[in-house]
Amino acid sequence: MTRLWMVRHGPTHANAMVGWSDIPADLSDKPALGRLRNFLPDAPVVSSDLIRATATADALNPTHRLPNDPALREINFGDWEMQTFTAVEAADPKTIRAYWETPGDVAPPNGESWNAVRARVDQAIDSYLQQDHGDLIIVAHFGAILTQVQRALGLHAYAAFGHKIDNLSVTKINCGSSDWQVQHINHRP
């Protein structure tokens, strides 16, 4: 069994849809980082290749750091990147509402559908599960973490979006060969 300790990166304070934009995380909350370090096991750490995830992973002071993995990136919002929901809704209300209310094959212009994100992250997670790390800390993003919540709980994408994933929170999933169990979602140590 592999235990995935999925950590959402530190806050960016952006008030827009941040997907593949490489903006830094605010890691100034040292007490929160300390609590997070103390809660996590001494295990290999892998992160998305975006700076907000890599910096958060490095702040955990891992003894074993795996190479950054671009497959663990956030949703690619394409033309919506770094825009507010309100701005996109004013320009393209039908598509943005469909994207969030009936997630699946709808994609932002030049971006990824939910199903594409899920397939990308599933493939990456499957490769780590084959390596049988026991415990594995994954520092990633809201969307990447929700794909695995959806997978573990057998949820429809819309129901997965109903889960909150705060910055510096932990979602722990125990992955057996035929049975996945969610132990924590959005746990704040």
Average pLDDT over residues 73-99: 96
Query: The pTM is what?
Result: 0.95
Q: What is the pLDDT of residue 61?
A: 85
Confidence of residue 181 (pLDDT cuts 50, 70, 90): very high
d(CA 107, CA 114): 7
Nearest to 174 by CA among 146, 155, 148, 156: 148
Q: How far apart are CA 44 and CA 89, in angstroms?
A: 41
Arithmetic mean of pLDDT, 61-87: 96
pLDDT digits (tens, 9 = 90+) for 61-73: 889 999 999 999 9
CATH number for region 2-14+24-75+133-187: 3.40.50.1240
Q: How confident is the prediction for the chain on average, in pLDDT? A: 96
pLDDT in tens, 114-128: 999 999 999 999 999
Pairing type for strands 170-175 and 2-8 reads antiparallel
For strand 2-8 and strand 180-187, is the pairing parallel, antiparallel, or unpaired? Answer: unpaired
Half-sphere exposure for 31 (CA within 13 Å, toward CB): 0
Q: Looking at residue 47, what is its pLDDT?
A: 98
